[in-house]
Amino acid sequence: MATSKLTLLIIILSVFLSPVSQAESPPLLPKIKQLQKAQNQDAQPFVGVNIGSDVSNLVSPSALVSFLQVQKISHIRIYDADPDLLKALARTKIRVIVSVPNNQLLAIGSSNTTAAAWIGKNVVAFYPETLITAIAVGDEVLTTVPSSAPLLLPAIEGLYSALVAANLHTQIKISTPHAASIVLDPFPPSQAFFNQSLSFVVLPLLQFLSRTGSPLMMNLYPYYVFMQNKGVVPLDNSLFKPLTPSKEMVDPNTLLHYTNVLDAMIDAAYFSMKNFNVTDVPLLVTESGWPSKGDSKEPYATVDNADTYNSNLIKHILDRSGTPLRPEITSSVYIYELFNEDLRSPPVSEANWGLFYGNSTPVYLLHVSGSGTFLANDTTNQTYCVVMDGVDSKTLQAALDWACGPGRANCSEIQPGENCYQPNNVKNHASYAFDSYYQKEGKAAGSCDFKGVAMITTTDPSHGGCIYPGSKMVTNKTRQVVNSTVTSGAADSVRFMVTLGSCRISAINKGLHVLVVIAFNILLFISFMAPW
């Protein structure tokens, strides 16, 4: 009988005490759900950027990583495996595609030992502290260095074998970026096919990609499609601008409607793969973009068009709408490129694909509000419009006259005796006038150009008693925020007291629970000692 009573007491105590222990230990299920959510987010389509190195005075690797974090850029592709940058990326959340330069294909494609050494030096040495997600073997090899084509697949397979040996083949994918020109007859997409002369490489490559779960990497530029087909391909269609149904491109074989050129290019690649009976290889757009400046032969390389294309591209990808052929799959895209590569040889457009200048100031402000957190330069940083260095006074004077005249900038502050008159030179006066016009136009795309003599900067050019228009706007906004804060102070106090009160109630409830358990145990003990 005593044993039965003791067993019963233990059961009752465990029932009543268990809620307290559960409340004190962190729940496991939310942690599991949080981890699953993070994994799902990582698998979602994203927009990354390419980072070229033909930039004069390129910032240091550590400064570059800090800049990427400020701009909320989480995916990058580099054209080598720079050890200093890979080291700087360690323990960040930035994911990187490293590359094997074309001039290393011969050595790697000819020797598995060399391939293994490359993986050891450029991947194993940094992973997993640095989140290397893929290896791009060469760049547009089949079209730019066709003599290396026979070595491409052996190089890929040698590197893959080294990844297998390091047990990294499931974490790190391997592929090679192709030019769009390997796809012939790309429109309508249903008629597209790979260049037959390249089949000896493309077919086994696709089979390898299918077997290893790696993507087909393609560099796709609607800009070049438009330039090569002016009068046939509408500019609006190339820039993702909304079209009326009558202007949409229609594939006569599938009756699929295409509202933009990029989707048509992606579907052309999918149809080309289907002709080889390959339907399970996803497509990754390793390059796409639009130049912001060109020579007389490239009149459509403008700041407005570059801003429009890249802003709409970002929205299109993050909307996750897929393509007409594969609406369930949205390809991730790497924008070409982060910085203007001013060391590039002509034409002029080659040096002007960047979102930023080499000094990290934006070439233009992307308009991607409401499309996630990609690129903080979308109106979240205060920006100003100032004169570029090295512009001659005559050109500046003409731009200044336009800004203060037809441009209707407020130039009163640069008049004699006013706050911004000194220093009395055309560069100083033009910078103020440019910023006045830029701010007046709401920092719209193209409002800081003045025929190429102005640039956008995040550095406040105000000096002494001369406050630039952009800073005046920030000051006004700050006053509004302060007033709003004062007004809402009482409400915040109420919210604080309610929160504090709920904490007190919670503590009281917990204390009552413990007292009830103790009281019950005392009563139980008394009854236990009494005869039944």
The residues, any chain, with a CB within 8 Å of residue 281's CB and separated by 6 or more, are 206, 209, 210, 214, 215, 216, 273
Give CA–CA dist 452/425, Å, rounded: 20
Give CA–CA dist 312/330, Å, rounded: 15
Give CA–CA dist 55/58, Å, rounded: 5
Give CA–CA dist 83/61, Å, rounded: 10
DSSP state, residue 363: S
| Catalytic residue (choose from 24, 129, 140, 298) | 140
Would you give the end-to-end CA distance of the chain in angstroms?
Answer: 9
Give CA–CA dist 275/201, Å, rounded: 15
What is the phi/psi pair of residue 362, to 5°?
-70, 140
Strands 257-258 and 249-250: antiparallel
140 in active site: yes
DSSP state, residue 337: -
DSSP state, residue 423: S
Structure tokens at 330: 């949205």
Give CA–CA dist 67/88, Å, rounded: 12
Q: How far from 201 is each of 17, 100, 101, 134, 207, CA to CA, in Å?
A: 69, 18, 19, 20, 10
Strands 47-51 and 333-335: parallel
Structure tokens at 458: 């995040």
* Residue whose token pair is 């915040």: 492
Give CA–CA dist 174/3, Å, rounded: 67
**Residues recorded for the chain:** 532
* Residue whose token pair is 């920030």: 474
Q: For residue 34, give the amino acid letter.
A: Q
> Radius of gyration (Cα) for the chain, nearest Å?
31
Structure tokens at 234: 């509408």
Q: Which helix (H) or strand (E) holds 51?
A: strand 47-51
| Catalytic residue (choose from 157, 287, 341, 413) | 287
Catalytic residues: 140, 287
